[in-house]
Amino acid sequence: MPPDPNCLFCRLVADGDHVRSTDGFVAIRDINPAAETHLLVLPERHIDTLRDVAELPDEEAARMLRFIAEVAAAEGLEDYRVIVNIGPSAGQTVFHLHWHVLAGSALPGFH
């Protein structure tokens, strides 16, 4: 899917300050962090939501997960949370697939 010129995250993929990048994915620091460490991991190509991952080749979907783990390791994170919001009622406000990687002492527990 080509970049969407109206998509904030497509612009950040092209021109943002990347913490880490690989072929197909980038990681950036969230400008409004919700934790001590708050990174966003984005596919370079425009994908609206996680629902659309079902249409991708299995290899590409697996590379997405590996890249998230590589980003966390590069940041020295051992304990962290990965969150993806799917749809507006779940909190997705930018419709370019992205994962929040959160770490730090202030994370509330989920059981």
Q: Please name each of the domains of the chain with its CATH number.
A: 8-103 (3.30.428.10)
In the chain, the N- to C-terminal Cα span, in Å, equals 36
- pLDDT tens per residue, range 58-81: 888 889 899 999 999 999 999 999
Q: Could you tell me how far CA 65 lies from the centroid of its own chain? A: 10
- pLDDT tens per residue, range 25-71: 999 999 999 999 999 999 999 999 999 888 888 888 889 899 999 99
**Residue 41 neighbours by CB under 8 Å, 6+ apart:** 25, 26, 27, 64, 67, 68, 71, 98, 99, 101
Q: Which residues are catalytic?
A: 98
**Residue 61 neighbours by CB under 8 Å, 6+ apart:** 53
Q: What is the pTM of this model?
A: 0.89
Structure tokens at 104: 């730090």
Structure tokens at 8: 């904030």
